[in-house]
Chain A
Amino acid sequence: MDNRDLTQLSIIEASQGLRAGDFSARQLTEACLGNINQKDQELGSFLSVFKDEALDQAQLIDRSLSSRKELPPLAGIPIAIKDNILIHGHRCSSASNILKKYSAAYDATVIQKLRQQGAIFIGKTNLDEFAMGSSTENSAFQVTHNPHDLERVPGGSSGGSAAAVAAGEALAALGSDTGGSIRQPAAFCGLVGLKPTYGAVSRYGLMAFASSFDQIGPLTKTSQDSRLVFRSIRGQDPMDLTSREGYFNKKTEISKLRVGVPEQCFEEGISSEMVKWTEKTIDYLKDQGARIVSLDLSGLDYSLPVYYVVATAEASANLARYDGLRYGEAETAKSLQETYARTRSQGFGMEVKRRIMLGSYTLSAGHYDAYYQQAQKARKVIEAEFQKALVEVDLILTPTTPGLPFKIGDRIDNPVEMYLSDLLTVSANLTGLPAVSIPVGREGKLPVGMQLIGPSFSEDFLLQIGSHLEWLS
């Protein structure tokens, strides 16, 4: 047995170790379960842990390894799954009281794909209820803490997934990103977080929040790991008609790179620490020979308002299905109307109610033109602006977040302040473009993430450039 802390390995290192016989899949899984046992009371990353199933699965992989069978790269790797992605036979709550006893009757497509790879599902992770939030404080069940500073949030909504990987409770995790929910927690926890191109990964089996923005993606320690997991889950799926294959063949060396930096990255609202790290990253890229181009993306100023109008409108429609009739918690009353209202009022938390109400308001007669239609038009303008910019430059660089991880409780009572956490991430969801958060360094003990946005289906390219920027200093 290897003396290294197995939970600190990247997927690629662990995969090599398994094949070399340095340790077994069971030992690797036990090491992650050990961390969950030791740390999760304090961290609150997991909503459920599949101890016996994970160990059984590990044993199967070990048998295949000892018979020298060729196995896919993710075989034997413990992976955590955000609790809004369905795994057959397991509870899937979306961190909501309305689904607290709901058990999934089928696997999401991403789960089927990871199963075929031999990945080990170690458990389901905490999130803001129905992925609505930026701190994982909006879960109906527990608050997740940042492993780098327990008084601070891990980001959200995939905060449980991010904390689990950062604390060595899993080697990688899946999250979902509607407005930054993979990238922002990745930045807050010192991980690589990828939001793929809209349609690159099937959404079948992901509980819908805002269907024109939602994408599933990986949270990993390194860019290489991110690429490996992304390659395992991407692809067209007949069960999700918005999924598609795409190609991006351009290879640009870092020395010939044209990097666009929006002027807004240095304006009010972006903390001095983030400005400093943006400048550091720019200096590094310049030293490597890259050319920096200042971009005036005026649409960025409107991205967040557009996002909060369109995403809440879609959420109000998507969440209409939770009515207490066919599944989930039900508060059955004498009349149908009362059954709906009681079930939903008791089942949904405050943030979910706030967003359903806002979405219905902006869609309602008298307000539709001023809000929803205006937002959809603005979305088109922002899309065109980004497409134009990505002809001029190879990729766009911004900080992932406007500031460092904030303290638990600091923003929970101020929705607008909480929404501002997504200021720099929502554009990639509005435009459908791929974006990745890369951990570039630390301010004290807190990690700092920088975001790279590229043309459609340029994930491999973004991750290749990202691998140069990991932990710059």
Chain B
Amino acid sequence: MIKPSDIKQLARLVHLDLTSSEIERLSQDEAEVLNYVDRLKQMNLEQISIKDDRPQIKLREDRPVRFDRAGELIASFPQTEGRFLKVPFVFEDQDG
């Protein structure tokens, strides 16, 4: 059973501010979905290995290539200062 306090904690971890009515609704919805998903526990899977035995993907060489529309990416920045992307302080005590 998933409690409203679990929902609050989880919301904090995934960066969602939920209203009290959203918390109430999600507690109920997630409980119903988990109740349905719980039938998975009936399967006896102790002997099954979790290891992925599919052929490994061959990764491409990690080397920079020129992207000639960088201006379009920069234009979509929500906040800029000069030609830089502007973001709030990463360490929150820096403004104090």
In the complex, are the beta carbons of A357 and B45 less than 8 A apart? no
Q: Of the listed stretches A31-39, A144-152, A301-309, A402-410, name the one at the interface; the rest are far from the partner chain.
A: A301-309
Given the complex of chains A and B, what is the CA–CA distance between A102 and B77 in angstroms?
A: 10
Q: Please choose the segment from A176-184, A267-275, A367-375, A393-401 that sits at the chain B interface, where 4 or more of its residues have CB less than 8 A away.
A: A367-375
Complex: chain A residue closest to B78, CB-CB = A330
Chain A residues within 8 Å of chain B by Cβ, number:
61
A361 pairs with B40, CB closer than 8 A: no
Cα A380 to Cα B76 in complex, Å, equals 41
Interface size counted on chain B using CB atoms at 8 A: 48
Residue of A333, A353, A361, A370 touching B41 (CB-CB under 8 A):
A370
Asked whether A354 is an interface residue with its Cβ less than 8 Å from the other chain, the reply is yes
Tell me the minimal C-beta distance from B79 to chain A in angstroms.
6
Q: A336-B87, A345-B18, A357-B7 are in contact. Are A374 and B43 (CB under 8 A)?
A: yes
* Contact indicator B40/A326 (Cβ below 8 Å): no
- Cβ of B81 within 8 Å of any chain A Cβ, yes or no, is no
User: Contact at B33–A334, with CB atoms within 8 Å?
Assistant: no
Q: Are B73 and A105 in contact (CB under 8 A)?
A: yes
- Which residues does chain A contribute within 8 Å of B50, judged by CB atoms? 373, 376-377
CB distance from A107 to the nearest CB of B (A): 11
Binary per-residue interface labels of chain A (306-333) against chain B in the complex, 1 for a CB within 8 Å, 0 otherwise: 1011000000100010011111111011
Scoring A residues 334 to 357 as 1 if CB is less than 8 Å from chain B, else 0, what string do you get?
111111111011001010011011
A72 contacts B by Cβ under 8 Å: no
Measured in the bound complex, the distance between the Cα atoms of B30 and A362 in whole Å is 11
Interchain pairs with CB closer than 8 A, number: 144
Chain A residues lying within 8 Å of B58, measured Cβ to Cβ, are 241
A332 cross-chain contacts in B, Cβ below 8 A: 78-79, 88
Residues of B within 8 A of A377 (CB): 43, 45, 48-50
Q: B2 and A238: CB pair below 8 A?
A: no
Q: Which of B9-25 contact A (CB under 8 A)?
A: 10-11, 13-18, 22, 25
A142 within 8 A of B: no
Whose C-beta in chain A lies nearest to the C-beta of B87? A325
Task: Say whether B78 contacts A354, CB under 8 Å.
Answer: no
Residues of B within 8 A of A378 (CB): 40, 43, 45
Q: Beyond A323-B15, A356-B16, A364-B10, is A374–B33 a contact (Cβ under 8 Å)?
A: no
Question: In the complex the two chains form, what is the Cα distance from A377 to B73 in whole Å?
Answer: 40
Interface centre among B14, B15, B29 (most CB of A within 10 A): B15
Given contacts A336-B88, A350-B25, 18 further A-B contacts (CB under 8 A): A304-B36, A306-B40, A326-B76, A329-B78, A332-B79, A335-B88, A336-B90, A336-B92, A337-B15, A340-B15, A350-B22, A353-B18, A353-B26, A357-B7, A357-B30, A361-B34, A364-B13, A375-B40
- List B residues at the A interface (Cβ < 8 Å): 2, 6-7, 10-11, 13-18, 22, 25-26, 29-30, 32-34, 36-41, 43, 45, 48-50, 57-60, 69, 72-73, 76-79, 85, 87-90, 92, 95
In the A-B complex, the 8 residue pairs with the closest CB atoms? A330-B78, A340-B15, A105-B72, A377-B45, A377-B48, A345-B17, A327-B76, A305-B37
User: Which residues of A does B touch, CB under 8 Å?
Assistant: 102-103, 105-106, 238, 241-242, 301-302, 304-306, 308-309, 316, 320, 323-330, 332-342, 344-345, 348, 350, 353-354, 356-358, 360-362, 364, 370-371, 373-378, 380-381, 415-416, 419
The 28 sampled A-B contact pairs (Cβ below 8 Å) are: A105-B69, A105-B76, A238-B60, A241-B58, A242-B57, A305-B40, A316-B14, A324-B78, A325-B87, A326-B85, A328-B76, A330-B79, A332-B79, A332-B88, A333-B88, A335-B88, A339-B87, A357-B16, A358-B33, A373-B50, A374-B40, A374-B45, A377-B43, A377-B50, A378-B43, A415-B29, A416-B36, A419-B36
